[in-house]
Structure 1
C-alpha cells in the first residue's frame, strides 16, 4: 500500500457544486504534466474537452476502457479510475506501457471506495496514485475519517457549496418547473417518465450511464439549448455531469445495486440532489408525486442532512490487492482474496473479474496454458474485460475463455475474422431504443478489446472501426430517443396501423378537416374525439370498412390525446351554452365537463365519454393538461377571488378582514352587505384600506369586486357556480347591460344576482350602478329634510319609477308624503330586529330553537 511519492497530499472535501473538479483542472493545468482519474467515462470525456480547449488537442490524452486518445506528446491525462496509467500496477495491456510520473495527480469522487463493486479500485488509487509535485484527492466531507486514517500526512481542505439546496416536497409530473431533472433507477422507469413528459410537456432529454458519450452529449445539448425543458436520467447524473438544472425530482429512492434492491444512502441522495443549482444559483430537490397520491418520501433526517450537507462519516473502504502476485494462478487468486491488514479497510466483495478468473481456473486447459507470469498476466487482463451487456458471470466467462484461448495460442492475437464478424453483426441502425442501446453495449466490448495493444495484429485499425461504428449507432440512438421522447409524431402509430387479418391492406387516414377514409372511401368525420359516421358513404362493404376504421381510430385518438397534452393554451376554451353542462372545448369540440369539486375554484374535470377508449396513460395526460389550463384561466379571470382566499387563509391577516373575505369568496365575489355587517363594523381604517387594495368595494347595500362584474369574469363565475351545484348553464346577462327586467324563473333570477344584479321589483340593476345611485341620493339630500332627487340618472340607466322607489327604500329613504311621491327623506337603514333571549328553564323557550331566528334578508331583491 505504499504511495509513489513522499510529497504531501491535499484532500479537497465538500458537497457537490463546490468547484472541486474545477479547482483540480486549474491546478493540473498549472503544472508541466498531470492526470485526473474519474468515476465515469462520460465525465472523463467532458473534462477532456475542457482541457483540450485550454491546452490544445496535441497535449491532452483521454484513456478509458473503450476509448484511447493518446497523442505522442501528451502531457495531461484524463482517465477513468480503472485506466489510470500507474507505474508498478497490473493494469490492462496497452496502458501499462504508458505509465509515467506526473507532476500532478488527482482522484475524483474518492468516496466511491465504499462501492461494493468498484470501491477497491478507488481505494487503491487513493493509497498509491501520487503526483511528483502535487496530489489532490477530491471527495465528500464524509471521507475525512478515512483520509485521516490512511493518508495521515494529507492536508484536508473543506469547500462550502456555492448555492443553497432546499427541499421542495413531492411534485406532480405536470407541475414540475422547467429545467428539472427527474432521476430514476432503471431503464424502464426512465422511459416511462420520459414518455409521460412527452405527452405533458412536449419532450425530455434522456441520460443514462449506458449511453455513449456521443449520444449523451447530443441529448444534453438538446436540454442545454432549451429544445426541451426536462431531463430524465439515471443516477449517472450525480457524478459531475454539470447542466443547467434548477430542480431534481426523485422518481424513486430505491435502486438495485447489482446484488439487492435497497434504499439510497444519504450520501447518494445528496450526490444526485446536488445537481440542482449550479454555481451561485440556488436549487431545489424533492420527489415525484405519482398517480393515486403515492410517491417516494424523504425522511426528515435525510432532508436535514441533504440541506445542511452533513452526512454520516465513512467508517470503511473496500480494498483488494492492487499488485497481486503472478507466480501462479493460485497465488494470484490468493492475493486477490487476501484480507487487508488495516482496521478501516474491508475485503472487497467478489467482483466479476475475480468470479470469471475462478471459474476459468477450474478448467484444466486454462491451467495448462496459464503458466509463467506473462501468460497469467494475460489471463488476468482478459478477466478484466467489463461485462458491458450485463450478461452475468457465466455467459461472460465463456467470452473471456474464448479470448484467452486465442491469446494463448499461435500468434497470441484474436482472429481478425472473428472480430470483423462480431462488428458486422452489430453494424445495423435498425430497431428501437432498447435494441440500439444493446448494440452499443456490444460495441463497447469490442472497443475495449481493440484498445488492448497486443490482442490484435492491427489494433489501431480496429480501434478506429469500433469508434466509427459506435458513433454511427450513437447517432441512430439519439435520433430514436428524440423521436420517442420528443417528436410528437410517434412510430407507435405506424406500427399499430398494421392490423390482423384481411384488413391489413386497408390504410386508415384522417385529413386536416377530420374526414376519415378507409382505403380511399370516406366513411365519416372525426370531430375532436367524437366519430360521426357519414351515411352517404355507406355501401355494401361499409360494415367491414366501419369495423376496420373503428379498430384503427384508437391510434388516431391516442395521437390526438398526445397532441392535446402538448397543445398551447389558446386551443382550449370554456363552453357556457345555456341549458347545457359547463364544458371544456379543445380545438372547437367538447373534451370534458366541469362538475362539483372541493371548492368553487377547484371544479372536478370529467372527460367526455368519447375519450373512454384512451389508455390510462393518455387519459391521465389529457386530464393533467386540462387541469393545468383550467387552473391558469381561473387564476387569470378570477384573480380577486384567488386573492381573497389567499388572504383569508393567511394567519397574518386581521381576523375582521378574514371574516369579510371568506364569505365574500364563497359567494363568488358579490354579497349583500347586511349578511356581513358584523365583520365590516370591526374593520379599522387599515383593514378598509387593505380591503380596497384587494379590489373589495364596501357598497351601501352590497359588497363586491368591481373587476368581477366584467363580462368574462362574470361568465366564469356563473359557470363555476353551475358546476359546483351540478346544474346546467343558466342564462347570462347581455355583456355591458346595466339593467334588465327581473326574470320570471327563480334559477335565472339567482344567476343574475350572482352575476352582480340587485332585484328591485320588476327590474334588476347592476350593483355598481346601485352604489352610484346611492351616492347620488346622499349627495342630493341635506340632513333629514325632504328632497327630490333628479330622475335623470335613473332614467338614463333604464330604471323606472317603481324600481327606483324600491331602491330608495333599500337605501334607507322613506317617502316624504303618504302615497307615491317624488320627495324623499333620510331615515337610515333599519337595523335587524334583535331577538329577545328566552329565560333558561322556560319550557316554552325551547320551542324557539325550532324556528329560524332570522328571515331571509333578500326581500328587496
Structure 2
C-alpha cells in the first residue's frame, strides 16, 4: 500500500517531478502556477472539457495571443503562442517548451487510452521542468520507469464521507448522479425532472460546447442536480456536495466489469470544493458498496499500479506486414504490458484484407498515409466494418487525387446541417461532424481546409446549441428550478401579467390571472405544485393590489352585466348577482376572488353596490320611481291615494306588468285624477294589461327577467328572454306566467305576445268590430302581422282572448271581371309587400290607450261585448290574410264559367269572430301550467269568478249593453278614451 508522500522542500535536480495525491488537492492549479512561471509551457489533459476550462484560465492570466488550445476536433492557435493547452493525444511534442505537464497520469493503466499516457510519461519532457500529476498509486511504477524522478505529495483540502444508499428522489441538493450508459443517464434525469425540477446532463458523447453549456447550467445554480458519466471524474471542477453512483459496473469498451477502487475514489472525490467537505454513496439500482472499498476510498489507500499499457510507438513502414509486426512487438522492459488492439490497429487489419488497398499501400509514404487514415477516431461509434468502409473511401481519394474531394465533403456536411430531431439524432449528427472537424485539421487532406474547418465548426455549434436546448427542455423544468432557487435565496421575484392574462415569473410562464383568480399551469402540477403556486402568488402581490385599486375606482363602462347575472370586469367575472332584500335591490357575491387583498374588500364591495344601483336605476328607472312614490308620506304634494298605491304596489311586485283581470275592482275604483297620477309615473292602462311601456324595450326587459329570476329563486339561465324585436314567441308550459309579464309579454294560449303588440291588436279588433256586422268581425292581415303569426296560431290567440269563430253566408252583388292587362301584370303589386312588412317594435312608438268606462274583458282582459254593427247589407273591405311568414293565405279561385253576371246577387262564405264569454270563467287564470284559467290561476285566490267583468246577472228581461260616448254621472270621462274621441267626431 502507498501512503501520501511528505511534501519535499523543492524540486529535484532531474527536472521531472511527480505531484501525487487524491482529488481536491490542487494539483492542476499548482501546475498552472508553475507553467505561468516559465516563458513557454505545455500541459496535456485527459478531457476536451477540462482542456477548455484550463485554456480559459490561462487566457485570463496571459491573454488570448499567448495561449493556444489543441484537441482532436478543436484548434485555437494564435501566431507564436507561448503556452499550449492540449488533450494528451493532441500534444504537439515536436515543439520544445520550457515547462511540460501531464495530468491524470494514472490513466496510463487504462486499457483503452493507457498506451497514449504511457508514451507521454516515457517521452514527453520540458526543457527545464516536467510535472506528472495524478494519484499516489503511481509512485512505485514511476520510480521504476524514471529513476531520477522527484515526488511532491499533496493532501486533500476537505474530508470525504460515505453516507450509504439513498433513493434518487431523496438525494440532497447539489448532487451528481453517475451512470455508465446514455440510457441510464436519460432515465435518471427524467425522474429528477419530474420529482425535483430538473437536472443537467454531462456525457463524453456530447460535444464540448453542449457539455460546457450543461455544466454551466449546474454551476450557475439553475438546477441542483447533475447526471453524468464517469467523465466528471477527470479533473472537472464543479460545485458538487454529494456524488451518488447509480451503478457499480461499467463497460470498458470490451467487457462489463466492476469499478476499480481507484475509479470509485476518482469519481467520488469530485464531492467537496476546496475546503468544503463532501459525501458519496450509492443510489438507484446500484448495490451498497462493501466496507473494504469504503475504507479504501475514505483513507485514500489503494493497491499501487504495477503495470502500464504500452504499444510500440516506433512503427515501421517498409511494408504492410512489417507495419503489422511492429505493432505486435512486446514491451521492452518490466512494468509495461502489451496494450490490447486499439481501433486504429483493428481498422488497419480490416483494410489490409482488401486487395485494392494492399496494392496502393506497398510501403513508404503510401503506407504511412494509410496508418494516419486508420488513426481517424471513430467518433460515430459505428461497427468496425462501417468505420473501415469510410476510412477506405478516404484513403482511396487521398491516393488518387492527393486530397479529399471538396464536393463530396460538402455533400456530407450539408446532410448533417439539420437541427431537427431528438437528443439521440442530434448527438449522432454531432459525432459525424466531429469526424469532419478532425479531417479538416489534418494537413493537406482538404484543398480548402480553412473553409471546412469553419463550416464544420458552424454546424457543430449550431447542432450543439440545439442539443443543449433539447436536453434542457427534456430534463429541466426551468420554471420550477428558477422559482425554487429564488425562494431558497429569498430573492425578490420579477413577475408580470401579459394582456391575455398570462403570468410570467422570472421569465417563465406559470399560469393565468383571470380577474383575481390565479390558475396554475397544468404542466406545473406535481411535487412542487405548492411551491410554484406560492412563488407565483408572492410575485403577484403588487399586481393584485394594483388590480384591487383599479376595480375599486373603475368607471361604469368598465363593467358588464351578463344575462345570467355575472358582473364582468376586464373580461373576468368578479361577482354574481343573488337575491336581495327587495325585488329591486339584488345583492351579490364575489366570484373567483380568493386572491383578492383583504384590505381592498370594503372598497370593492362599495364600488360593486354602486354599479348595481346604477344598473337598476338605468334599466328599471320607471319601476324605481313607482316604488319611490309608494314611500312618499301622505302629506307629500305628489303622494298617491290609497287606491292608486294599491295598484302601484301590485305593479312593483310584478316587475312592471300584470294582467288587468286580478285588479279589475281596484282599477274601476280609480278616479281620473288617480289614473292621471299613475300615468305621470309611466303606467299605462291597457285593455288587457297594466304595464309601463318604457320597460318593454329589450335591455330593461332582459334586466327585469333577471331580477324576477333572482327574486323567485329560479336559475337566471333557465328562462331565456325572447329575442329583441319578437312580437310573439311560443309559450312553453314550464315557463311561469309571471316571467312572461316581467319581460313584457302576456301569455295568450300557446304563445306569449308582447304587451304593446297585444294592445295594438285590441285597437285593430275594435276598429273591425265597429265596421263589421252584428255576427262578428273578420280577422285581417294587419291583425296577424301585429302578433307575427297566422293560421291556427293566430286563432289560438283570439280564442284565448275570448273570441269564438263561426262560418256564415252572406249575399253580395257580383262584380264584372277585370280584363287582364299584360303590362300591369308585369308590375309588382306593392300591397302584399306592404302587408307583409313587420310593424314597429318600439313600444314607445304606439302607446296603449286606456278605454275609460269600458266593460272589463272577461277572458283575462278580452274585448267587451259587441260594439255597434254596420248597416245591414253594407259590404266590408276584405283584406288578404297572411301567415306568420307573410305569405298570402289560400283563396277560392272563381273561374269564368262559374262567375255570376255583374250586378247579380251571389252568396259567399266568410269566417267571423265574435266575443263569447267562457262559461264558469274557465280559462281566466294566470298561473296554471302556462295556460289561463283553472283552480290554480290567479282568480282562484279571489275565491270565485272575477268581479266587474263579463255580464252581470240581472233580474227581468235582458237588454243588450251599449257603449256611450258621454261622461258617466259618477265620474268624469277619460279624455284619452277612443270612445270619447269617437263621440266628438260624431258631433262634428
Q: CA deviation at 1:371?
A: 3.3
Match of 2:525 in 1: 563
The answer as to 2:288 corresponding to 1:297 is yes
Does the residue aligned with 1:409 lie in a helix, a strand or coil? helix
Give the alignment of 1:720-799 within 5 angstroms. none
Match of 2:265 in 1: 270
Match of 1:346 in 2: 337
How far, CA to CA, are the matches of 2:394 and 2:479 in structure 1? 45
Tell whether the 8 Å contact from 2:524 to 2:532 is kept in structure 1 after alignment.
Answer: no
Task: Name the structure with the higher helix share.
Answer: 1
Q: CA deviation at 1:357?
A: 0.6
Alpha-carbon deviations, 1:654-712, whole Å to 9, x = none?
Answer: xxxxxxxxxxxxxxxxxxxxxxxxxxxxxxxxxxxxxxxxxxxxxxxxxxxxxxxxxxx
The answer as to 2:44 corresponding to 1:37 is yes
Give the alignment of 1:477-556 within 5 angstroms. 477-487=467-477
Match of 2:255 in 1: 260
Match for 1:69 among 76, 85, 88? 76
How far, CA to CA, are the matches of 1:296 and 1:79 in structure 2? 37
Alpha-carbon deviations, 1:782-833, whole Å to 9, x = none?
Answer: xxxxxxxxxxxxxxxxxxxxxxxxxxxxxxxxxxxxxxxxxxxxxxxxxxxx
- Indicate the structure (1 or 2) with the bigger Cα radius of gyration: 2
Does the residue aligned with 1:259 lie in a helix, a strand or coil? coil
How far, CA to CA, are the matches of 2:222 and 2:530 in structure 1? 16
Match for 1:440 among 430, 440, 450? 430
Match of 1:204 in 2: 199
Q: CA deviation at 1:112?
A: 0.7
Alpha-carbon deviations, 1:757-788, whole Å to 9, x = none?
Answer: xxxxxxxxxxxxxxxxxxxxxxxxxxxxxxxx
Match of 2:297 in 1: 306
RMSD: 2.4
When residues 32 and 571 of structure 1 are mapped into structure 2, their CA distance, relative to the original with a 3 A threshold, is closer
Match of 1:106 in 2: 101
The answer as to 2:151 corresponding to 1:189 is no
When residues 415 and 163 of structure 1 are mapped into structure 2, their CA distance, relative to the original with a 3 A threshold, is same
How far, CA to CA, are the matches of 1:6 and 1:396 in structure 2? 48
The answer as to 2:344 corresponding to 1:337 is no
Tell whether the 8 Å contact from 1:250 to 1:296 is kept in structure 2 after alignment.
Answer: no
Give the alignment of 1:620-699 within 5 angstroms. none
Alpha-carbon deviations, 1:505-553, whole Å to 9, x = none?
Answer: xxxxxx999xxxxxxxxxxxxxx9xxxxxxxxxxxxxxxxxxxxxxxxx
Alpha-carbon deviations, 1:605-630, whole Å to 9, x = none?
Answer: xxxxxxxxxxxxxxxxxxxxxxxxxx
How far, CA to CA, are the matches of 2:440 and 2:191 in structure 1? 40
Match of 1:228 in 2: 223
Match for 1:27 among 15, 22, 34? 34
How far, CA to CA, are the matches of 1:568 and 1:184 in structure 2? 31
Q: Under a length normalisation based on structure 2, what TM-score does the superposition of the two structures give? A: 0.48
The answer as to 2:49 corresponding to 1:54 is no
How far, CA to CA, are the matches of 1:392 and 1:124 in structure 2? 28
Does the residue aligned with 2:364 lie in a helix, a strand or coil? helix
Match of 1:8 in 2: 15
Match for 1:387 among 375, 378, 396? 378
How far, CA to CA, are the matches of 2:39 and 2:403 in structure 1? 37
Alpha-carbon deviations, 1:583-636, whole Å to 9, x = none?
Answer: xxxxxxxxxxxxxxxxxxxxxxxxxxxxxxxxxxxxxxxxxxxxxxxxxxxxxx
Q: CA deviation at 1:392?
A: 2.6
Alpha-carbon deviations, 1:459-500, whole Å to 9, x = none?
Answer: 11111111111110010001001100113799xxxxxxxxxx
How far, CA to CA, are the matches of 1:483 and 1:338 in structure 2? 51
The answer as to 2:380 corresponding to 1:373 is no
How far, CA to CA, are the matches of 2:127 and 2:364 in structure 1? 30
Match for 2:125 among 127, 130, 137? 130
Tell whether the 8 Å contact from 2:320 to 2:363 is kept in structure 1 after alignment.
Answer: no
Q: CA deviation at 1:176?
A: 1.1
Match for 1:404 among 395, 398, 407? 395
Match for 1:174 among 169, 190, 202? 169
Q: Under a length normalisation based on structure 1, what TM-score does the superposition of the two structures give? A: 0.55
More displaced stretch, 343-352 vs 209-218: 209-218
How far, CA to CA, are the matches of 1:321 and 1:331 in structure 2? 13
Match for 2:307 among 299, 316, 319? 316
Q: CA deviation at 1:296?
A: 2.1
Match for 2:319 among 314, 328, 337? 328
How far, CA to CA, are the matches of 2:414 and 2:263 in structure 1? 40
Does the residue aligned with 1:242 lie in a helix, a strand or coil? coil
Match for 1:82 among 89, 102, 125? 89
Tell whether the 8 Å contact from 2:14 to 2:150 is kept in structure 1 after alignment.
Answer: no
The answer as to 2:408 corresponding to 1:418 is yes
Alpha-carbon deviations, 1:289-334, whole Å to 9, x = none?
Answer: x3xxx64211101101111111111111110011212222222211
Tell whether the 8 Å contact from 1:199 to 1:562 is kept in structure 2 after alignment.
Answer: no
Tell whether the 8 Å contact from 1:106 to 1:135 is kept in structure 2 after alignment.
Answer: yes
Q: CA deviation at 1:373?
A: 2.5
Tell whether the 8 Å contact from 1:488 to 1:563 is kept in structure 2 after alignment.
Answer: no
When residues 478 and 106 of structure 1 are mapped into structure 2, their CA distance, relative to the original with a 3 A threshold, is same
Match of 1:427 in 2: 417
Q: CA deviation at 1:7?
A: 4.4
Does the residue aligned with 1:167 lie in a helix, a strand or coil? strand
When residues 6 and 100 of structure 1 are mapped into structure 2, their CA distance, relative to the original with a 3 A threshold, is farther
Tell whether the 8 Å contact from 1:488 to 1:562 is kept in structure 2 after alignment.
Answer: no
Q: CA deviation at 1:148?
A: 1.1
Q: CA deviation at 1:6?
A: 10
